[in-house]
Amino acid sequence: MSSDLTLHQRRRAPTPDEQQGIPWLWQLLPEERARAMAQLQVGDAAPGDYVCRVGKPVTYWFGVVEGLLKMSSDNAQGATMTFAGLPPGGWFGEGTALKREPYRYNIQALRKSVVAGLPVDTFHWLLDHSIGFNRFVMNQLNERLGQFIAAREIDRLNNPDVRVARSLAALFNPVLYPGVGEILRITQQEMAYLVGLSRQRVNEALTALEAQGTIRVEYGGLRVLDLAALRNSINQ
């Protein structure tokens, strides 16, 4: 019966371990943190579940505690454009929450994930009262702007290897996704969904990056050996 419930209906309070995986909580003063923790909710998303959809009003500011999400939208021709992958530690939609406007993108779970949500009214209360929270949101907006500018530049290049390198470098961004660390738990099929290429072509690109000594493909994921080199491959 629970499988018939929406993600919102399946929401619950976060466990202590899940709270530890929310990076901005620990930049708040004790009274601010207590208020935020009282309002935080998490949901267990199944593969394919939508966290938010185009045109729906914003009710929460969301983050990924575990798993992997993708941000995308459909164009007028019905083709899906993926903007970003969202691994653990990543929080997103602060621009939408700031403006309280409808979503302009879809967020969907690629695998079983734990998604956290902070009510938008609490989000605005923290903006009004917390210097630490403002710094976190400002850093998020600044880092994401640079990421999207780089993505637009790379999208003009018809080079599959560069597309894969770009996507990997973005997923290993320590500011936006502090929960990833050195190992990203991702399958080649999930990478294919994010970059818009076939699984076989993604495999070829990862093999090339591994031969360069930039990454190492491990069971269930990827380890970055040289993040600077991975980022520089974008500009070659």
pLDDT digits (tens, 9 = 90+) for 148-174: 776 666 666 677 888 888 888 888 888
Q: pTM of the predicted model, to two decimals?
A: 0.83
Q: Which has the closest alpha carbon to 159: 197, 214, 193?
A: 197
Domain over 158-235 is classified CATH 2.60.40.730: no
* C-alpha to C-alpha distance for 178 and 65, rounded to whole angstroms: 11
Answer for the pair 183, 218: CB distance below 8 angstroms, yes or no: yes
Q: Which among 49, 51, 31 is positioned nearest to 41, based on CA atoms?
A: 51
CA–CA dist 75, 86 (Å, integer): 21
pLDDT in the model for residue 218: 87
Q: To 5 degrees, how large is the angle CA 23–CA 24–CA 29? A: 130
Structure confidence at residue 1 (pLDDT):
36
Q: Which residues contact 56 (CB under 8 A, 6 or more apart)?
A: 102, 103
Query: What is the CATH number that goes with domain 2-149?
Result: 2.60.120.10
The share of the chain scoring above pLDDT 90, in percent, equals: 54
Q: What are the residue boundaries of the structural domains of the chain, listed by start?
A: 2-149, 158-235
- The CA–CA distances, whole Å, from 119 to 35, 42, 81, 158, 189 equal 11, 11, 28, 40, 33
Q: What is the mean pLDDT of the chain?
A: 87
Closest CA to 66 of 50, 43, 95: 43
At which residue do the structure tokens 């269930």 appear? 220
Identify whether the C-beta of residue 198 lies closer than 8 Å to the C-beta of residue 166.
Answer: no
> The sheet that has 183-184: what strands, in order across it?
183-184, 221-224, 215-218
